[in-house]
Amino acid sequence: MSDLTKEREELVELFGVFFETTHHLPPLGARILGNLILDSKSSNVTFDQLVERMGASKSSVSTNLNLLLKLGKITYFTQPGDRKKYYKPTPFSDRFNNYLKMIALEKEIIEKMANYRDKSSCPKSRAEIEMVKIYNEHLTEMERLILKSIDDFKKIEKESEK
């Protein structure tokens, strides 16, 4: 086994563990996503290639691909005259839009909680309101940074399509 092959396998495993723990993906799905990220610009990856690489059954790979598609982690494309699907990770700009949706929902919940706490006369509630305000400021700053990152990603993605 070449050093490059070994390094690739280690990267796939690192991605796998990361996606399992942070995104709560099943082990096979996490490693499929890792493979697709590593191959995103160098080759078109088909279902059959993933079955072979992963050493898993067709049904297991299919189930995990469908999960990754549903979660918006990957996408696929087809080529004229070819019935195969080619899989790739979702562009960074799209992935970051998912973070924006989570932040918007969290900000909405936080605001409703602050309004609820504001109606309370308990001194402890007042302290919690102050913490909620700080947390809301944090979320707003994260939102601003993510929007900037999305713009930066879109510029790079546009350039790489040329």
> Which CATH topology does 3-89 take?
Arc Repressor Mutant, subunit A (1.10.10)
Fill in the amino acid letter for 26: P
pLDDT at 121: 65
pLDDT at 115: 81
Q: Walk along the chain (162 residues) and give the pLDDT tens digit of each residue.
A: 788 889 999 999 999 999 999 999 999 999 999 999 998 766 789 999 999 999 999 999 999 999 999 999 999 999 999 999 999 999 888 888 888 999 999 999 988 888 887 777 666 667 777 888 899 999 999 999 999 999 998 899 888 776
In angstroms, the first-to-last Cα distance of the chain is 35
76: which strand partners? 87
* Distance between CA atoms of residues 146 and 162, nearest Å: 25
What proportions of the chain, in percent to the nearest 5, are helix, strand and coil?
75, 10, 15
Fill in the amino acid letter for 83: R
75: which strand partners? 88
Q: Residue 100 corresponds to which tokens in the numbers above?
A: 């924006």
87: which strand partners? 45, 76
pLDDT at 131: 86
- Provide CB contacts within 8 A for 112, sequence distance 6+: none
Fill in the amino acid letter for 50: L
For residue 45, give the 3-state DSSP assignment: strand
Q: Residue 125 corresponds to which tokens in the numbers above?
A: 């509630």
Q: Residue 68 corresponds to which tokens in the numbers above?
A: 């990754």
Residue with tokens 């900037």: 148
* Distance between CA atoms of residues 87 and 127, nearest Å: 49
For the chain, the structural domain boundaries read: 3-89, 92-161
* Distance between CA atoms of residues 39 and 86, nearest Å: 11
pLDDT at 147: 94
pLDDT at 123: 67
